[in-house]
Each structure stands twice: as structure tokens, then as C-alpha cells.
A and B are shown apart, each in its own frame.
Chain A
Amino acid sequence: MQTIDVADLDYKAINETLREAGSDFIIEGCCGQKFIAAGMSDKNVTINGIPGNALGAYLNNANITVNANAQDAVGDTMNEGKILIHGNIGDAAGYAMRGGKIYVQGNAGYRAGIHMKAYEEKIPVMIIGGCAGSFLGEYQAGGVIIVLGLHKDNKRIVGNFPCTGMHGGKIFLRGNCENIHFPKQVTARCASEGELDEIREYLSEYCSDFCYSVDELLSEPFTVITPDSKNPYKQMYVAN
């Protein structure tokens, strides 16, 4: 395990250090440096302090743990690996991610999980412990987004316009979601036992990461949202 004090390093220098040697790192004194571990494989990185935008962009099988908040675009176009955030995250987390996991203890900003995909054995999973901002799962094409609404202090579990343009994947929101307005092209219903079984493994992992009880999480009903069609725009065109 190598400890790097990055207080005086810019993002380029940090990534050069990460690339050069070893696979296990602790980054101390992180303060807004962007792109940490972009495109990297086979690394275990723990970050103390707050990483900047695009943490773990194009991540290709590395593990990142942040012991604080993270900023925008966490796990942009992530392919494989795991990002664990002991805090809140900014906007557009997991944009177009195709695989791997982003587990957040706190809240997420706007557009979490936008255009998330899935492909064969690759099923990306994003779990947000608190609440998510507006446009959750916009254009979602695959994968699983789970929002738990823990410590939400009477806030709605998601902001406005969740699932706009969704055409694949699933979103699970803890609670009955009666106060949430969903667009026409998706169906929101109470998750069945079978559907909850699909996510039990992820929730167990999440609970062991953040010291929660799975049984307690599952004591409340979950709402599952799925798109009605994977070809929502089929009828829009006429050949000319």
C-alpha cells in the first residue's frame, strides 16, 4: 500500500503516479483534482479529501473508495470496477456507464445514471443511499439504478422528470413513490419478490460496505420502474 500526498500535485501528476507503480494507493489531501484514475485497470485507490470532476472516467476495472463527497461526472462511461463514495456526489454520475458499480452513501445531483447501458454480462449498478436530483435515469438504456431515500428528511426521493426517454434497464426507488410523476413511456409499480431478489445481492454488498441492515432496507416496499418499449421512437418517421 502506497500513500501519496497530493496536496501539491495536479491531476496529471496524480495519474502519472498511479499509472507508474503498484496497484494499491491511498491518496491523502485530495482537493478537487479531476480525472483521478481515468481509464485505469487493476488498481485499488482510497481517496481522503474531495476528488474533482470525472473521478474514474472510463474506469476499466479498478476500485475507488472516497471517504468524503465527490463532485460531478463520477464514473463517466465506466466499463468495469467499483466506486464507493462515503458522502454525496454531484451531477451526471455514471453517464453512459456500461458496467461496474457506483455505490453512494449520501445524495446524488442531477442526471444520475443518464444513458446508462448494459451489454451481455455487463450490468452496471448505481445505488444512491439518500435522494437523487432531477432527471434520474434520463435516456436509461440498461442497468440498475437503486435509490434508497435514507435520511431524506421529508424530501422527495427523486427530483423532477425521472426516467425521461428511458428505454431499457430498471430503476428501484424505496417507498411507494405516490408523490413522484413519471413520464408516459414507463411503468412504475410495486416491486415483486422476484424483482427484489434481482437486487438483493447488490443491496447486501451495499449494506456491508456502509454498515446497514438489508432486512431493514427491505422492510419498506420498493417501486420498480421499467420502460414500456425499447424502441420508443419507432413510429416517428416516414421515408422521404
Chain B
Amino acid sequence: MSIEFIYPEFEVIRNENKCISCRICEQQCANEAHSYDEKHKIMMCDDSKCVNCQRCVSFCPKRALKIVKSDCTLRENANWSNETIKEIYKQANSGGVLLSSMGNPKPFPVYWDKILINASQVTNPSIDPLREPMETRVYLGKKPSKVQRTKDGALDCKLPPQLELSMPVMFSAMSYGSISYNAHKSLALAATELGILYNTGEGGLHEDFYCYGENTVVQVASGRFGVHADYLKAGAAIEIKIGQGAKPGIGGHLPGAKIVGDISRTRMIPEGSDAISPAPHHDIYSIEDLRQLVFSLKEATEYKKPVIVKVAAVHNIAAIASGIARSGADIIAIDGFRGGTGAAPTRIRDHVGIPIELALAAVDQRLRNEGIRNHVSLVVGGSIRSAADVVKAIALGADACYVATAALLALGCHLCRTCQSGKCNWGIATQRPELVKRLNPAMGSERLINLMTAWKHEIKEFMGGMGINSIEALRGNRLMLRGIGLTEKELEILHISHAGE
């Protein structure tokens, strides 16, 4: 070995007594960690290739495999962690910028876990959601600030375009290219069945998926890949992507090697050419410029679709959101710093942006203070992990939540965080046909529907417990929340009381 050697992070433990050398692990591993020694008739493994995606573990018919974190470590050092040192080695070996996948894994505070939800006792009866009607439907879009009447005195019911969701959750942007055809199809099918929406991300819309347009948010980002009039008209809403929680201020970059076949056709760029989404939109330098893009999209789609502006949660998010609310956007989507990604520079992912909980509270409060909260709906993501997070987000002021990592987990993702390799053994973050076909869209969509149906039940249970029978009555209802173990300042920003108060 050499100075460049880094001891493998994981070890593949094979129970030789249980292993029958069926070679399923070998077939399942696109990283080629497993191999078969013909001469000695035994299975071998190369730990250095293992990414701990658990595919072989899940498919071993004899439960003979497990993956463990290697205990071969450098000398303990509270300042120089193993991880930090290995990152130095990787960069010294290659000269490269560290590239990671999925959301920020660092132990920053998760405020969702420091917020508790209320329930009714004695004075305000709780409601049994199994026996009584419980409304989880939400409408996203600009709401009129007052009741308007027509000349003959009738109610003027003409509203700006609204998105109707059966529950306050949407699948957030993941491009075709970052995830597979079958993953996209699973999301599209599930969104349609559930009465919610999924999001194309900046990869265009595959011709096969135009039929799911009513349940699709089409994205327009700085690279404008696959954007044309029919694409804009195909979706239920258009999302302008300014930023992403995993990499605020950073553009996107799908390497040319991944721009093949359908991906190239859907993005409408030549095969093998890098798909570069520049960090900024080069025609947006101000809120006025943003307004121009918002209205050019509205003009191109005849004002029939709400326009979402998606930004990453960053330090001045409240002021930024106030600007967006005045730009003519119908919906603001805010992505917190724990949001996922198919690939982002590690340092950016782990050190830039702020938690969505604080961003949401600050934005909702600011828009209320300025009297413009009803001009826009608020959608938050990055990361929403459960029905409890959804309920807390709604009570903090969100209209709906964006969910992506949880959806991928439902599809089989084991959060090994190596999406950037393109060798996803679960058929999600890959374009290799033999891997993509491992994900069956019918089964994938069923699992997504299961997950969301379960969340919907849980949301209703929470609401019933609070004596609330409509999700609209929960929005911004911060009296339903209490902080636990939070400082005065944190409570002030979240605008909630401490438990016991």
C-alpha cells in the first residue's frame, strides 16, 4: 500500500456458516464489492468498494451478510476527527473539491425535535378522526385580501390560480438525470393517485410523463434545460428555482457522462455535453428582475398557473421572502440546509444555510408583520421526515411541505449518500438500465402512496387531538407548539413558548 491508502470505511461481514455461495450479493452489487473465487468455491469481498447501501444485506437469502463500520481508526483526537483527516487525505491525493450526496449529516440542532405539539384536555374536546370529518385539503396560491363583489352585488369568486392538494405535502424537485426514469414514474403515479404534486427539477419533462401534467410542478432553473412553451403549459404550476438548501449559492452540474439517451433528449442538450446550471440566473439581479421572469412565465402560460419561487434558507431569508412576495410569485418554497441533493460540494452542503424551522418562523412572521402573508403560500422542505414534522411546520406557518428524502427512502433508498457515483443499487439515483429496472414503478408508487396515506392518518390524529378539524385552522397556530430545551432567543425566533409556559 502507499501514502494514498485510506482504510475502507465499512467492512462486509459474511457468516461463512450461513453463506451458500449463491452469488446473489455479487449480482446485486454494482460497486463490485462481492466476487466469487471459482478455485476455492467461496465468496470474496473488497471492503473498499462497499458504500453500505445494504442491497446485498437485504437480498441475501440466508441473512449471512452484515455491513459494519470499520473499527480500524486513527488515533482518537477530539479536534481532528477521523472524517476530517480522511478528507484531507482525499484532497491531497486528488486536488479535488469534495463532493457528497444527500442532506447535511452533521450534528446541528434539529429544531423539529425540540418542539412539542399540544392536545386538548377537558375544556376543548378532541375529535376522533376515524369517525368525524377531518379536512386535510389545502389550496396553494395567492389569496384575495378582501371579499370582492361584482357590479350586481354578487360575490366575485374569481381567484388567482390555485393548486389543490389533498394533504399538505408535495414531492420536491428531483430531476430526471439525478434520479431514474422509474423513480420519476413512481413519483408521478403516486402524486396522481394521492392528489398531490411531484416536481420535475431542472431536467425537463420526459415525453411519457406529460400525461401526469395536472400533478406536476415544472421547474425553470438557471440552465433552462428542457424549458419550452409546451413544457411550461404541461404542468400544474411552474417553479423558478433560485436556490437549493443543500447548496445555496451554488449552481448545478450534471457531468456529460450522465447526459445520455433520454436524459439528453429530455434536457434538450447534446449527449456527452455537461449540463451546467449557473449559480445565478443571469437575468436576475434584483426583485424587479425576478418579477420580470415571473411575469414572462405567466404571460407564456396565460396566467393559468401559479408560479413558485424556490429559495434556499439563508441568513436574510425573511427580507428575501418579503421581496419574493412582492415579485408577483404565488408561492414561495424555502429549502432548509438539511435538504437533500444528488451531488453537492461537501463543504457547501455542511456549512451554508440555516435550519428550515427558524427560516419558516422568521418568514411567516415577517410576511404577517408586513400584511402580505396572504399574497403568497409558503412551502417548506429540507428536511421533513415525518407527519410530526409536517404538523409542526404547518403550525409554524407553512401552507404545505416539500418531501424528497423521505420519498426516496420509501422507494428503497438506504441513505448511503453516494448518489454521485451513478451506481445506485436500488435503481433510484442511476441511469444504468440494469439498475433502473430494479425499481418497479407500480411497486414504488404503491410504497409512496402507503407512506403518504399513513402520514395523512397521523396528521389527522394530531389535528383531532388538538380539537382542530381543518388543516387551515392549524396554519400559523403557534399556540399549539411549545419548545423544549431552547434558549430565549430560539423561542423568540420560533415565536413559541417554552414547555410549561
Q: Which A residues are closer than 8 A to B by beta carbons?
A: 11-12, 15, 19, 34-35, 38-41, 53-54, 57-58, 60, 72-73, 76-77, 79, 91-92, 95-96, 98, 111, 114-115, 117-120, 122, 138-139, 141-142, 165, 167-168, 230-240
Question: Taking the complex as formed, is B120 at the interface, i.e. its CB lies under 8 A from any CB of chain A?
Answer: no
With known contacts A35-B296, A57-B296, A233-B253, A95–B87 Cβ distance under 8 A: no
CB distance from A39 to the nearest CB of B (A): 3
Contact with A along B409-429 (1 / 0, CB 8 A): 000000000101100000000
Chain B residue contacts of A92, Cβ below 8 A: 282-283
Contact B299 A15 (CB under 8 A): yes
Chain A residue contacts of B93, Cβ below 8 A: 238
| Interface stretch (choices B95-103, B471-479, B484-492) | B95-103
Contact B232 A39 (CB under 8 A): yes
Residue in contact with A233 in the complex, picked from B228, B270, B274, B292, CB distance below 8 Å? B274
Chain B residue contacts of A119, Cβ below 8 A: 268-270
Question: Taking the complex as formed, is B272 at the interface, i.e. its CB lies under 8 A from any CB of chain A?
Answer: yes
Bound together, the chains give a CA A184 to CA B90 distance in angstroms of 27
Question: Taking the complex as formed, is B163 at the interface, i.e. its CB lies under 8 A from any CB of chain A?
Answer: no
Chain A residue contacts of B257, Cβ below 8 A: 231
Contact with A along B188-202 (1 / 0, CB 8 A): 000000000000000
Residue in contact with A77 in the complex, picked from B228, B302, B346, CB distance below 8 Å? B228
Bound together, the chains give a CA A115 to CA B345 distance in angstroms of 23
Bound together, the chains give a CA A144 to CA B397 distance in angstroms of 49
Residue pairs across A and B with Cβ atoms less than 8 A apart, 11 shown, are A39-B232, A39-B301, A53-B292, A54-B292, A60-B229, A77-B228, A115-B223, A115-B278, A237-B345, A238-B93, A240-B98
Bound together, the chains give a CA A119 to CA B267 distance in angstroms of 9
Chain A residue nearest in CB terms to B349: A240
Contact B296 A76 (CB under 8 A): yes
Bound together, the chains give a CA A108 to CA B378 distance in angstroms of 39
Contact A73 B283 (CB under 8 A): yes
Contact A39 B229 (CB under 8 A): yes
Interface of A is mostly: loop
Bound together, the chains give a CA A138 to CA B253 distance in angstroms of 16
Contact B229 A231 (CB under 8 A): no
Contact B228 A79 (CB under 8 A): yes
A-contacting residues, B262-279, CB 8 Å: 268-270, 272-274, 276, 278
Given contacts A34-B296, A58-B227, A96-B223, 17 further A-B contacts (CB under 8 A): A11-B295, A19-B302, A39-B301, A54-B292, A72-B283, A77-B228, A79-B228, A141-B274, A165-B278, A167-B273, A168-B273, A230-B270, A230-B274, A231-B257, A231-B274, A237-B345, A240-B346
How many chain B residues touch A (CB < 8 A): the figure is 47
Contact B299 A141 (CB under 8 A): no
Chain B residue contacts of A40, Cβ below 8 A: 229
CB distance from A225 to the nearest CB of B (A): 17
Contact B282 A115 (CB under 8 A): yes
Chain A residue contacts of B418, Cβ below 8 A: 239
Contact with A along B291-305 (1 / 0, CB 8 A): 010011001111100
Question: Taking the complex as formed, is B224 at the interface, i.e. its CB lies under 8 A from any CB of chain A?
Answer: yes
Contact A58 B97 (CB under 8 A): no
The 10 closest A-B pairs by CB, nearest first: A39-B300, A238-B96, A96-B224, A240-B98, A38-B299, A60-B229, A39-B229, A238-B94, A237-B99, A35-B299
Contact with A along B75-95 (1 / 0, CB 8 A): 000000000000100110111
Bound together, the chains give a CA A237 to CA B257 distance in angstroms of 14
Contact B276 A139 (CB under 8 A): yes
Residue in contact with A165 in the complex, picked from B95, B96, B276, CB distance below 8 Å? B276
Chain A residue contacts of B133, Cβ below 8 A: none
Contact B283 A95 (CB under 8 A): yes
- Contacts between chains A and B (CB distance < 8 A), count: 144
Bound together, the chains give a CA A142 to CA B267 distance in angstroms of 13
Bound together, the chains give a CA A138 to CA B223 distance in angstroms of 12
Chain A residue contacts of B296, Cβ below 8 A: 34-35, 38, 54, 57-58, 73, 76
Interface of B is mostly: mixed
From A39, A72, A230, residue with most partner B Cβ within 10 Å: A39
Chain B residue contacts of A240, Cβ below 8 A: 87, 90, 98-100, 346
Bound together, the chains give a CA A26 to CA B212 distance in angstroms of 39
CB distance from B351 to the nearest CB of A (A): 14
Chain A residue nearest in CB terms to B284: A92
Bound together, the chains give a CA A226 to CA B346 distance in angstroms of 32
Chain A residue contacts of B299, Cβ below 8 A: 11-12, 15, 35, 38-39, 57
Contact A58 B268 (CB under 8 A): no
Chain B residue contacts of A54, Cβ below 8 A: 292, 296
Bound together, the chains give a CA A91 to CA B91 distance in angstroms of 40
Contact A95 B302 (CB under 8 A): no
Question: Taking the complex as formed, is B256 at the interface, i.e. its CB lies under 8 A from any CB of chain A?
Answer: yes
Chain A residue contacts of B253, Cβ below 8 A: 233
Residue in contact with A139 in the complex, picked from B228, B278, B295, CB distance below 8 Å? B278
Chain A residue contacts of B224, Cβ below 8 A: 77, 95-96, 115
Contact A234 B276 (CB under 8 A): no
Chain A residue contacts of B90, Cβ below 8 A: 238, 240
Chain A residue contacts of B301, Cβ below 8 A: 39
Chain A residue contacts of B99, Cβ below 8 A: 237-240
Residue in contact with B276 in the complex, picked from A35, A73, A77, A233, CB distance below 8 Å? A233
Contact with A along B211-226 (1 / 0, CB 8 A): 0000000000011100
Chain B residue contacts of A73, Cβ below 8 A: 283, 292, 296
Contact B255 A231 (CB under 8 A): yes
From B100, B282, B299, B346, residue with most partner A Cβ within 10 Å: B299
Chain B residue contacts of A138, Cβ below 8 A: 282
Contact B97 A238 (CB under 8 A): yes
Chain B residue contacts of A167, Cβ below 8 A: 273-274, 276
Residue in contact with B300 in the complex, picked from A58, A122, A235, A238, CB distance below 8 Å? A58
Bound together, the chains give a CA A142 to CA B256 distance in angstroms of 14
Contact with A along B100-122 (1 / 0, CB 8 A): 10000000000000000000000
A-contacting residues, B32-90, CB 8 Å: 87, 90
